[in-house]
Amino acid sequence: MSASGTAAAGQVEHMLRQVTPGRYDAYEALLRALATPSAGQIWMLLWHGQAGSPDAQYGNMEVDGYGYAPCVTSAQELSASGWNRSYEVVDGLDVARTLYPDHFGLWLNPHAPGGGVGIPWLDLRRIATGLERQPAGPLRLSEPGIEVPQFYALLTQNAHRTPAVRSLRRAWVQPALGAPYLAIGLDVYDTSPPAVDSVRGMMQQSIGAVPDGLPVSTVAMSDAYDPVAMWLRANARPFYDREAHAAPAPAPAPAAGGYGYPPARGGY
């Protein structure tokens, strides 16, 4: 292995050693290491085929009903694991892009004492699309308890004037790291550039009614992989619905801890 390869493995392994229960800052540092091209190299264990061959297939394991592809973080860990089939050395970023659409996570060093560390598919999606673009999980989601009637009234009024908008939902999002915020779920009829611009303008016209210090974000209800959109679809009725104005007010949805994540295991 080259010196650069050794350094890459060392960075991921160093971050991995820092991860302990409740240390979400250390876990985020591990995700950043995996997301860094060349610095986030891992050794994927192949159940079938050879590296680079069309029939190559990652190994798989199931933990608490969730699927994961096992890997190791260095040649030394590969030897310690006793794996006697093929493997391939790849960037964590590339693996994340491959696995998350199939709702598969990544499990680092499952042979290690304590069982290693599992990366849920939701966090692989964050690696694949940009860690700063998505809130750090596991998330706690609930119906908003904060009262901002002027904002909701203005947003509803502007949504009614924006033909691209079908409905609006809301959630209170508490990330594992960072400030909680109000999320507005946007369900639209049309995703053409003019329609997207009109929805963006709707939000810009409404955001002035938000009290100072209250962060507000939007999420596309059509995003099949976004955990906030997933929770909204399952738990929140629209507070604006173009097709059902007479619908009764939504009942408060129960809080959901760690939505989309398996129970904590292996140091996470």
Higher local confidence (pLDDT), 84 or 5: 84
Residues 6+ apart with CB under 8 A from 128: 93, 96, 97, 100
Mean pLDDT of the 176-197 span: 95
Query: Is residue 75 over pLDDT 50?
Result: yes
Mean pLDDT of the 82-89 span: 92
| Mean pLDDT, the chain, whole residue set | 87
- Tens digits of residue pLDDT in 120-176: 999 999 999 999 888 998 899 999 999 999 999 999 999 999 999 999 999 999 999
Residue 1's pLDDT band (cuts 50, 70, 90): very low
Residue 185's pLDDT band (cuts 50, 70, 90): very high
Q: What whole-number distance in Å separates Cα of residue 124 and Cα of residue 126? A: 5
Which one of 6-20, 53-67, 229-243 scores highest in mean pLDDT? 229-243
Q: What's the confidence (pLDDT) of residue 260?
A: 46
Query: Is residue 111 over pLDDT 90?
Result: yes
Query: Is residue 97 over pLDDT 90?
Result: yes
Q: What's the confidence (pLDDT) of residue 252?
A: 52
Domains identified in the chain and CATH numbers: 3-133 (3.40.1350.90), 140-257 (3.30.460)
pTM of the predicted model as reported, rounded to 2 decimal places: 0.80
Query: Is residue 265 over pLDDT 80?
Result: no
Task: Decide if 126 contacts 261 (C-beta within 8 A).
Answer: no
Q: What's the confidence (pLDDT) of residue 246?
A: 45
Query: Is residue 256 over pLDDT 80?
Result: no
Match 């995703």 to its residue by tokens: 191
Share of the chain above pLDDT 90, in %: 73
